[in-house]
Every structure is written in structure tokens, then in C-alpha cells.
Structure 1
Amino acid sequence: MCEILAVRWATPTRFQELVPWAEKVEYYGIASFGWGVAWLEHGQVKRHRYEGRLSEDPSGVKQLANVVSTHFLVHFRRPNRLSTIQMADTQPFLAEKGRFAFCHNGSFTREREFRDRYVGRLQGKADSEVGFRVFEEILDQGASPEQALVKTHDQLAGNANLGYLGADGEIVVFNAYPNNRFHRFRVDGALVAATELHSADDSLFRLVFPGATERHVISGAESLAQPEAAR
């Protein structure tokens, strides 16, 4: 029941500019059990996480307000198992040395088959972190981010939306969740991908992004290419 918001601006932009979108995605998506954001900064991916709601994290939002970047990956959490509510399972996950960030919405049905393989590298209890480690392993074997996202889902199965932000500036999103589709569009000079609030109608655009253009539903893995400068 999580939601994902990926934003790529044409020019460096303050995090504060996307907060109104993030607040609405969290509110309408009913994702109340952890939020986090990853962003690109000087060739590394940085991250902020909080165990509760964005609306309950004023000090974090204040610290982030003047963070400037062209790339942001935001995750709002509603876990399948409430026993996994803890910082270790709050997303996005961050690879060592800020190489990339990864996040997941959905449920990996084969997670238990893979958990023992990564037991020494797991800090939390949720299936999403297993997905993070599977993805990391595939990526380290030389796959592209798009290929690694597809292979991660192929191996773990289930419904899944995935997000990736690399230190090289690539954002890739993956959609294989019919009940919470990933949409891609342009709005206010940004190229955006967002899950549809678990609402199979036009609510994402009616309630959060009424000015969106060039809308389409993502199929498989898609990279968010460099957006044109705002006209």
C-alpha cells in the first residue's frame, strides 16, 4: 500500500518545491507508516528517512527545504505487515557510498525463498529490503538499472512498483502492479512518475497534479529522460 513519487527537474530546484505534491500523495495515498526521500548531490545519492508521516516530520522537512537537486525519489510507506514498522524498513534504501537508492511498493511473493541468502546484509524484516539486495546483486553483475529492476521482479514475483536513483543521475521506475499503476507525465517544468494512490480512476491528476500533460501509464521499466526546460 505504499506510494512512490519520482521527480526530475530540468534545472536545480529546491526540495521545498515538491513538498505540496508530496503532502497530497501521502494524504490521499493513506501511507502513514514512514516516509523518505533520496536526491542527487555532487555525484552521490543522499537520503532522509522518518518513521512516521511527512506531516509529522517538520524538523526534517525544514532541514530539507533548501536542498537543491535535479533528481528526487520519494517513498511513502504502508507496510503489508505492521510488525515491520521501524527505521530499518523505512525507504528508500541506500547503497554503500551513496551509489544508488531503491524503493518498492507492493509485495514480493517469493521473498522468503531469498531471505536466507542475504541474512548477513539485512537490517529489517520487510520483503522490500530483500528486493533491494537482490537488485543490488544483479546490478553489480553488470546489468543496467532497467534490466536489474525487471530481473528483480522476475525472481521475486508478485505485484511491484520499483524506483531507482543512481549517482550517475539516472532515475528508473518499474510498473508491475495493476492495482496501483505508475504514471509518467510533465508538470511545472518537471518530468514526474507517481503511483496512482491505490485509486483506479483519475484521482492522481484531479487531486494532486491537475496541470499534468503528456500523461501515460508506465509499462515495465522506464528511465526518466532529461526534461526540457520550462517554457
Structure 2
Amino acid sequence: MNIKVTLLIILVSINSIKSQNNMAIKDKYWQVGIGLGEIPMKNSFKPSFTIGYHFNANLYAGIIYQFKDKISRNNSSFNVASSELEGLVRSSENVGNRFMFQLRITPLKYLPYISTGFVFNGQDKELMHFGTMNRIINNENYSGDISIEQERLKGWGFALGLGYQYDFKNRFSLNFEWTPAWFQGYPKVKYKFSGTSNLSNEAKENIKQKMDEGFSSTITNYYKVFHFGLAYRFP
């Protein structure tokens, strides 16, 4: 799905919010929605679909599904920065699908809700290519190019987070949430090296150690669902 198409759908839907008459709705109702799983910058957005049911003003059950996506990371890549290698040519990531079976608990009206349930994250794979140049890695001299494939293994876990939903009177809603699997720990990561530099095992381990430290230094690498989007409520 093209990001322009996704954003156009959201903008048209938001515009309809302003033009429609108010429509009353009771506490028990369904809602379906579309959204993004990443802030839409530099071709990264992860389109998503949601559906769920509000049992009352305090309890909601539903699912979030985020589609696979390919993202150009380049200089914005956290993994590239962690490797401490110079001469980046390109970096792109194949992002796996995301799924969450979710319960929302809203203690009081107009307050943020507690988001909990089970999340599944598919396999993510980032390919980084560094151009031909002279480098010193682990006190060893190398000349040539280097390619690194970092693979985050798929996994799931119990998740707990926060979100907020604003309901317009004409049944449209805007919502935002972040729900990580805190108790699962960091996903396991695998690496593959290639290129004309022909790195030694010691050099590979040196790079892997730096990248592992960087990977485990931010909670954004937990299994999780991040979502913001637009929904429509109906009886």
C-alpha cells in the first residue's frame, strides 16, 4: 500500500468528520479502523487494520493487525549507528507483520486507557551495505566493502501499555497507543556478514557486540505494537 494512498484515506475521513451531523451512539458498539504502525517519515509507515467491540464505557476487546512493509532506513538506521562503521551506501529493512489481541481498560471517561493482551511480531530483517574503503576493525586493517544482514527473530509475549482515544460525536475516533511485551525481554538477533573485506571472526564478533549493545539499549526493540489511526464506531 502506497503511503500517499493511506494518508489520503485518513485525510478524507478526517474531513468527513467536520461535515457530518452528530450521531448518538450507546456504550455497546463495534469499531473498525485503519492506521499506521510507525511515524510516516522517510517511507516508513506500516499500514494497519483494527476491529473490536466496546462492551461498555470501560472495557473494549479487539485486534490490531499491521501488514508487512519495506522501509528505507539509510542514515536514520539505529543499527548502522551502533555498528560504528563508516561509508554507508544504503540500509533497508523488511519489517514483519504485527498482531495483537487486545483488551482496553478505561478507568474514567476522557482518561488514557490501559492496553493489555498478547502481541506477535514477525521476523524483521535489515540489510546494511558499506562501500569500499580502508577500515580498522578490532585493531586489524581491512580494505573492501562490507554487507551486514541483521535478523530479529519472530516472537510473541504478554504486553502492557497505554493509549488514548478521542471520540467525535459523529462516530469517528482518533486513537494512539504503544503496547510493548515488557516481560519477554529483547528478541534474539542473528547476523550474516559478506563483502570483499573478508572480515575475520574476531572482527565480526567485535561488530556484533557493538550492535547487540545498541539493540538492547532501547525499549523500542521489544516485541510490541505501536499504532495511531482513525476508527469508525457503529452499533
Fold-level similarity (TM above 0.5): no
TM-score (norm 1): 0.26
TM-score (norm 2): 0.26
Higher helix content, 1 or 2: 1
Higher strand content, 1 or 2: 2
